[in-house]
Amino acid sequence: MKNLLIIGAGGVSRVATKKCVMNINSFGSITLASRNINKCKIIANEIQKEFGIKINTAQVDADHTSEVIKLIKDTKASAVLNVALPYQDLSIMDACIATKTHYIDTANYEHPDTAKFEYKEQWARSEEFKDAGILGLLGSGFDPGVTNIFCAYAQQYLFDSIEYIDILDCNAGDHGYAFATNFNPEINLREVSSNGRYWEDGKWIETKPLEISMEWDYPEVGVKDSYLLYHEEMESLVKHIKGLKRIRFFMTFGQSYLTHMKCLENVGMLRIDEVEVDGKKIVPIKLLKELLPDPASLGERTVGKTNIGCVIEGIKDGKPKKVYIYNVCDHQECFKETGAQAVSYTTGVPAMIGTKLIFDELYKGKGVFNLEEFDAKPFMDELMVQGLPWKVKEL
């Protein structure tokens, strides 16, 4: 029997766990673990009440490889789905290597002391994964994740060669607060306030934060201001999309969000180093995280839609071709199904799909892989039936 260990207890883990239960034929027992076992128990009780299926819960400090190793052994897990903070990717990966257990995550590793996202240290473990005879699937969320799959699908089935990719992420949800973030504030604010980067003609070009913007008409949402950021999936797509000349990432932000963020940055609240206050050392952005609304609490009050997709341009049969592959998600519909808003839903569903494809042995391999290295069609097919239907629009 293939058993699954899920590490994390936020909105994404809520969605991923419920979706695993809804696809229980692919899984054996499921254990949900985190530092906060009470949150795990709340999710488990909801699932027991709704589906009549028992979810095991456990407490674990995922920063300590030894604790994760013990939990993997205790649960006889065949795979670990890591939906905890990206700082913890490496300790959990190391535990999987030690126990010869498949590994799946939803986000790039982020250095705790530097606002920098990169796959370097995760990719460096590929040989150890090969030696252990296990598969590590990196970034099985939406972006990264589904956006990688959209690009892989285009390369494998729609184009002879791809030259330009723009990844477009629009969250038009309204939660009613003056300022809040739709996922972990530390990650969100560090991501948005950092310098932008895009790849063109074989090199990375750095920009000032939010220096480059454009308007885009998002289907079912409308025209929104979209700002160029650096985002992790570009690092792997540059390696795996052949013939690529340029790739960029854009995300939408309202002016209220940008004004609040700039003010917080100006007064030092986005700092990630320690400062001393009344003899105690604190990290300003961690304090801010505690002051802002918990993203997991936004689901019930968030209305509106998300639209995330890829504009891909290249050559097919000797002629120029341009397509827009995208998904639209409704916050309230996601909440009705899983108790979480669309940002958690669009990450949690692909996390389950990536895990399911490994358990169903449609994705196999030894080493560490990004999603675009596999056949995109099985993933695309699952998206259509698991709640994230996609469309292809010719441009």
User: For all residues of the chain together, what is the average pLDDT?
Assistant: 92
- Looking at CATH, the fold of the domain delimited by 146-340 is given as Dihydrodipicolinate Reductase; domain 2 (3.30.360)
Average pLDDT, integer, range 330-353: 96
How do the domains of the chain map onto residue ranges? 4-138, 146-340
- What average pLDDT score do residues 79-86 get? 86
Residue type, 33: A
SS3 150: helix
4-138 against 146-340: fold identical: no
Report percent pLDDT > 90 for the chain: 75
Compute the distance between CA of residue 241 and CA of residue 259 in angstroms, rounded to an integer: 36
pLDDT digits (tens, 9 = 90+) for 226-242: 999 999 999 999 999 99
pLDDT digit string (tens) for 355-386? 999 999 999 999 999 999 999 999 999 999 99
141: Cβ contacts below 8 Å, ≥ 6 apart: 12, 106, 107, 346, 347, 350, 351
Tell me the pLDDT tens digit for each residue of 92-104: 999 999 999 999 9
Angle at 264 between CA 274 and CA 298, to 5 degrees: 100
Which residues contact residue 53 at a Cβ distance below 8 angstroms, ignoring those fewer than 6 apart? 21, 24, 47
SS3 372: helix
Q: How far is CA 201 from CA 204, 243, 246, 249, 394, in A?
A: 8, 10, 6, 16, 25
Beta strand 305-316 with 319-330 is antiparallel
Cβ atoms of 24 and 53 closer than 8 Å: yes
**pLDDT value at 2 more than 80:** yes
Write out pLDDT tens, residues 317-328.
999 999 999 999
Is the bond preceding residue 295 a cis peptide, omega within 30 degrees?
A: no
pLDDT digits 0-9 by tens, 153-196? 999 999 999 999 999 999 998 887 778 776 677 777 777 778 99
Band of the pLDDT at 297, cuts 50, 70, 90?
Answer: confident
Architecture of domain 4-138: 3-Layer(aba) Sandwich (3.40)
Cα distance between residue 393 and residue 150, in whole Å: 13
Which segments within the chain are labelled E, that is strand?
A: 3-7, 30-34, 56-59, 77-82, 102-105, 135-138, 161-171, 196-200, 203-207, 213-218, 222-229, 246-252, 275-277, 280-282, 305-316, 319-330, 367-370, 390-394
